[in-house]
């Protein structure tokens, strides 16, 4: 077996390839797959980041070079696209550079040798049992043994992915066609841009053992399960050996900068989370969706201005602080907000400045996670604002879910709030009824706290620095 790495192979046969650091890691993973170290691999990646060039063009050529007896099949949402991949592979195999690396892997030239097949959908390796077959979704593979199946974007667009009929037909084709062509040692590679939580990847994750790849050691731990690498357009969480980017860094900033990606997020947060972050959710499963009303001008009769703040619970959580006004009918108008993962020494000043800017007279801060110290620090910065703290002991899940209708009905956001606080907007628009599937609860928790506080405002009970009295 050739010792040429997949990355070196790609650079040799595709010298024009624009290879970024993440491509090198992506290609390293594909090489482990090509050499049999991984049997079942899922890779989700944003659009226009080179996933198909690596997985459906270069990889089949490389694998046939390593083993000319291999039977590979490529499937995509259309037979035309699958055929395009096949033709590209054939052109690579015909190249002088490929011949120098893999002289034993050749294909039919013109009409010779006559006994071998070469079409846009199927090509056989001369003198060997291997070859490459391409097929569109729902196409037939009768009589064909497959040693390696590559599934590349089985859904054309959001319309297809959002269709229950298309998803069902795709799953039926996968189970009745793809799986029946495979044997005990067959390999599977699925490379997708995610569209829907119940797409093929979502269905497999619900039914089979899937390991989310966080380190290269996961290759050895996955066993016979699926290994899933999700490359986010904008990094969240701490750096890993597989994705060493710092939080907030774009995957390919030269092509799609953070600024551009944030613009896309604001246009459709739910779709952005699916396509660019690999975390799809059903719009039907959203808790709030796009149901929030917006205000342009405050009403004349404002009876109260206040603030509610929840400090970050864990390392990647957000501090959420919202200043608001309440009218005579109890309608709540969001005035300003701080939604940040900056350290407390930064957010203390941000919140203090916002309290002055929004002209609130009182602020309530949850003291569960350093909130008491945070409250004292902010109080020193804005002595004219009455700042209280309390310990929130009620169950977060129960609170958020039970008060969701009241939150949507009573709270108004200022026009253009998606541009003002894009992260908060995205997290609220994409917040799901399935509580445990949400990564961030911070904004939902604060909105819930606001409606809870306003509901008890007129009652005799009061809040002190030491809790409810």
- pLDDT for position 369: 67
Tell me which of 280, 305, 328 is where a domain ends: 280
Residue 288 within a domain: no
Number of domains in the chain: 2
Residue 1 within a domain: no
> Per DSSP, what are the bridge partners of residue 131?
71, 124
- Measure the CA–CA gap between 29 and 214, rounded to whole angstroms: 12
Specify whether 297 is located in the same domain as 203. Answer: no
Specify whether 72 is located in the same domain as 215. Answer: yes
Q: Average pLDDT for residues 116-144, to the nearest whole number?
A: 90
- Measure the CA–CA gap between 375 and 370, rounded to whole angstroms: 9
- Residue 54: give its domain's CATH number: 3.40.50.300
Residue 330 within a domain: yes
Tell me which of 255, 280, 305 is where a domain ends: 280
Q: Is 43 left (phi over 0), alpha (psi -120 to 50) or beta?
A: beta
Residue 469 has pLDDT above 80, yes or no: no
Specify whether 364 is located in the same domain as 299. Answer: yes
pLDDT band at 7 (very low <50, low <70, confident <90, very high): very high
- Residue 398: give its domain's CATH number: 3.30.420.240
Residue 393 within a domain: yes
Specify whether 251 is located in the same domain as 385. Answer: no
Residue 418 within a domain: yes
- pLDDT for position 87: 96
Residue 325 within a domain: yes
Specify whether 114 is located in the same domain as 251. Answer: yes
What is the bridge-based pairing of β-strands 386-390 and 210-212? unpaired
pTM above 0.85, yes or no: no
Specify whether 268 is located in the same domain as 326. Answer: no
Q: Average pLDDT for residues 63-84, to the nearest whole number?
A: 95
Residue 459 has pLDDT above 70, yes or no: no
Query: Which of 10-24, 264-278, 381-395 reaches the highest mean pLDDT?
Result: 10-24
Average pLDDT, the chain: 90
- Measure the CA–CA gap between 92 and 110, rounded to whole angstroms: 16
Residue 270 within a domain: yes
Residue 267 within a domain: yes
Tell me which of 280, 311, 328 is where a domain ends: 280
- pLDDT for position 315: 63
- Measure the CA–CA gap between 62 and 70, rounded to whole angstroms: 11
Q: Are 189 and 75 in contact (CB under 8 A)?
A: no
Q: Is 48 left (phi over 0), alpha (psi -120 to 50) or beta?
A: left
- pLDDT for position 246: 92
- Measure the CA–CA gap between 2 and 12, rounded to whole angstroms: 14
Q: Average pLDDT for residues 16-22, to the nearest whole number?
A: 92
Specify whether 119 is located in the same domain as 72. Answer: yes
Specify whether 173 is located in the same domain as 227. Answer: yes
Specify whether 308 is located in the same domain as 456. Answer: yes
Specify whether 211 is located in the same domain as 305. Answer: no
Specify whether 263 is located in the same domain as 315. Answer: no
Q: What is the secondary structure of 253-265 as a DSSP string?
A: TTTS-HHHHHHHH
**Residues in the chain, total:** 469
Residue range 404-445, pLDDT digits in tens: 999 999 999 999 898 888 889 888 988 888 888 788 899 999
Give the range of the structural domain holding residue 376, as residue numbers without chain letter. Answer: 293-468
- Contact partners, residue 366, CB within 8 Å, separation at least 6: 309, 310, 311, 389, 390, 391, 392, 449
Specify whether 307 is located in the same domain as 454. Answer: yes
Residue range 326-374, pLDDT digits in tens: 999 899 999 999 999 888 889 999 999 999 999 999 999 987 767 788 9
Residue 60 has pLDDT above 70, yes or no: yes
- pLDDT for position 363: 94
pLDDT band at 463 (very low <50, low <70, confident <90, very high): very low
């Amino acid at each position: 077996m050739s010792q040429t790495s997949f990355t070196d192979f790609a650079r040799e046969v595709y010298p024009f390839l624009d290879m970024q650091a993440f491509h090198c890691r992506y290609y390293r993973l594909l090489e482990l797959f090509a050499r049999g170290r991984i049997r079942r691999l899922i890779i989700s990646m944003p659009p226009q980041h080179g996933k198909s060039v690596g997985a459906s063009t270069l990889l089949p050529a490389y694998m046939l070079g390593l083993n000319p007896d291999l039977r590979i099949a490529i499937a995509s949402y259309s037979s035309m696209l699958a055929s395009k991949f096949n033709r590209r592979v054939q052109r690579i195999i015909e190249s002088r550079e490929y011949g120098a690396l893999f002289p034993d892997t050749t294909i039919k030239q013109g009409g010779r040798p006559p006994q071998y097949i070469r079409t846009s959908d199927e090509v056989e390796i001369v003198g060997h049992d291997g070859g490459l077959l391409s097929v569109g979704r729902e196409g037939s593979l009768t009589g064909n043994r497959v040693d390696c199946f590559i599934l590349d974007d089985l859904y054309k667009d959001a319309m297809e992915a959002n269709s229950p009929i298309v998803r069902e037909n795709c799953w039926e084709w996968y189970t009745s066609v793809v799986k029946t062509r495979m044997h005990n040692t067959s390999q599977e590679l699925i490379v997708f841009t995610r569209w829907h939580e119940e797409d093929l990847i979502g269905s497999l994750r619900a039914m089979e053992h899937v390991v989310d790849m966080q380190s290269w050691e996961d290759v050895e731990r996955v066993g016979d399960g699926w290994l899933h690498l999700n490359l986010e357009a904008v990094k969240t969480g701490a750096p890993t050996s597989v994705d060493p980017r710092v939080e907030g860094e774009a995957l390919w900033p030269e092509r799609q900068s953070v600024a551009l990606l944030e613009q896309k997020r604001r246009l459709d947060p739910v779709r952005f989370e699916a396509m660019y972050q690999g975390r799809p959710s059903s719009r039907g499963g959203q808790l709030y969706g796009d149901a929030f009303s917006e205000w342009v001008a405050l009403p004349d009769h404002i009876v109260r201005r206040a603030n509610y703040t929840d400090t970050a619970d864990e390392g990647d959580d957000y501090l959420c602080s919202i200043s608001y006004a309440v009218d005579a009918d109890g309608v709540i108008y969001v005035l300003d907000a701080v939604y940040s993962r900056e350290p407390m020494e930064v957010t203390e000043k941000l919140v203090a400045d916002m309290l002055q800017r929004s002209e609130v007279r009182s602020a309530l801060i949850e003291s569960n996670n350093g909130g008491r110290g945070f409250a004292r620090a902010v109080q020193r910065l804005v002595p004219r604002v009455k700042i209280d703290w309390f310990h929130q002991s009620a169950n977060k899940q129960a609170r958020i879910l039970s008060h969701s209708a009241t939150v949507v009905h009573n709270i108004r956001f200022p026009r253009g709030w998606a541009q003002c606080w894009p992260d908060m907007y995205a997290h609220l628009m994409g917040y799901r009824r399935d509580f445990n599937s949400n990564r961030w609860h911070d904004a939902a928790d604060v909105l819930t706290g606001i409606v809870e506080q306003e509901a008890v405002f007129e009652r005799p009970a009061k809040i002190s620095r030491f809790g409810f009295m």
